[in-house]
A and B are shown apart, each in its own frame.
Chain A
Amino acid sequence: QPVLTQSSSASASLGSSVKLTCTLSSGHSIDVIAWHQQQPGKAPRYLMKVESSGRHNKGSGVPDRFSGSSSGADRYLTISNLQSEDEADYYCETWDRNSRVFGGGTRLTVL
């Protein structure tokens, strides 16, 4: 079963860019992951799927400011032109034949 590792927190200034990382455990470096955003007090929202090639497919209505990429076992979520509403928890997710796994989440603070 894969394990996903995320930094617990990140911060960046309004209008700047930030890159969040989700690292897949050994033996799962080619796996696909998804990114979800959870704003304070709300349900999670699907942002995108990111493949090992870096190809990403965004969910409906996700702004162009959000993009995904990949390098080895790392999967990234980059948010450009940070807005106040981007302050949220970001979770990565992956799956195998019998289960689903989430990373511990990264709390993003917009300064």
Chain B
Amino acid sequence: EVQLVESGGGLVQPGGSLRLSCAASGFTFSNYWMTWVRQAPGKGLEWVANIKEDGSEEQYVDAVKGRFIISRDNANNSLYLEMNSLRVENTAVYYCARIGGRGYSFAPIDYWGQGTLVTVSS
């Protein structure tokens, strides 16, 4: 059974940093692109970042470029999102998700984690 379990969310002041983690199990993690998607309170889903299966390519939504870094540790089946210079508008539930095409990114998200809440407030 595919499982994605996020952790690391919490309350942080504007300008602060936070690192989210996602522990993956139930599939060969190193064979799949992975992604982070967020959802602000009462709003819809917004894609944040993708990372290739070997970590050699990263993609970001313009709103987080230069502030957020997606990374992965295939030896430990883990995905990360380093968030810096956080803003109030970054407050959201952040979901870790698997992109379903084995070895390529042209595929839908086929599994989601349960999400972790990040609150940016003074």
Contact = CB atoms under 8 A, between A and B. Distances in A.
B110 A95 contact: no
Interface of B: 35, 37, 44-47, 50, 59, 61, 95, 100, 105-115
Main secondary structure of the interface of A (DSSP, over half): strand
A40 to B, nearest CB: 12
A82 interface: no
The contact size tier of chain A is 20 to 34
B59 A98 contact: yes
12 contacts: A32-B108, A33-B108, A36-B45, A44-B112, A49-B108, A93-B45, A95-B107, A99-B50, A100-B50, A101-B47, A102-B45, A102-B47
Contacts, number: 60
Contacts of A91: 44-45
Main secondary structure of the interface of B (DSSP, over half): strand
Interface of A: 32-34, 36, 38, 43-46, 49, 59, 89, 91, 93, 95, 97-105
Contact of A105 (B45, B95, B112): B45
Nearest to B59: A98
Nearest to A6: B44
